[in-house]
Amino acid sequence: MNALLIKTEQGQQAFKARSAQLAGKLRSAYLLFDGQRTVQDVLKATQGLGVTLQDIDALQQAGLLAAMQPLPAELEPVALAKLRTPQERYRDAYPLAVALTGKLGLSGFRLNLSVEGATGYEALAAVAPKIKEAVGQQAYVSLEQALFA
């Protein structure tokens, strides 16, 4: 229940297509999974909507959410960059980008929508300079590492 879940590419496509799998309360819960909030955090936040652990399990079983995989500590950043595919870079960077733009509040709403609309590495890398401009270099470092290191 303390697991960190992130949106999958399949989930993002279902979200954009307004799939019935993500209707109503599940759509609201799905939006909260950013790799920073635990399942328990999302359940608390959506308690009033009636989202249950079974609902979240169903999203995971459908392939719309996936467990966030921790990176092995023994991998150095240089070696990691050589090993990671663009899809892996996207998977690692996406939750960071969502978290950074989410902290901007209403002023970052459009930027957050751009991040949510980025369904692949290239699209997220294209939005990255705007994120850097909005949050500043210090906050941007982790995203830069995830995308380009």
Model confidence over 12-47: pLDDT tens digits? 888 888 888 888 888 888 888 877 788 888 888 888
Model confidence over 107-143: pLDDT tens digits? 888 998 889 888 889 999 999 999 999 999 888 888 9
Question: Cα–Cα distances in Å, from 35 out to 79, 82, 133?
Answer: 23, 23, 23
**pLDDT score for 80:** 46
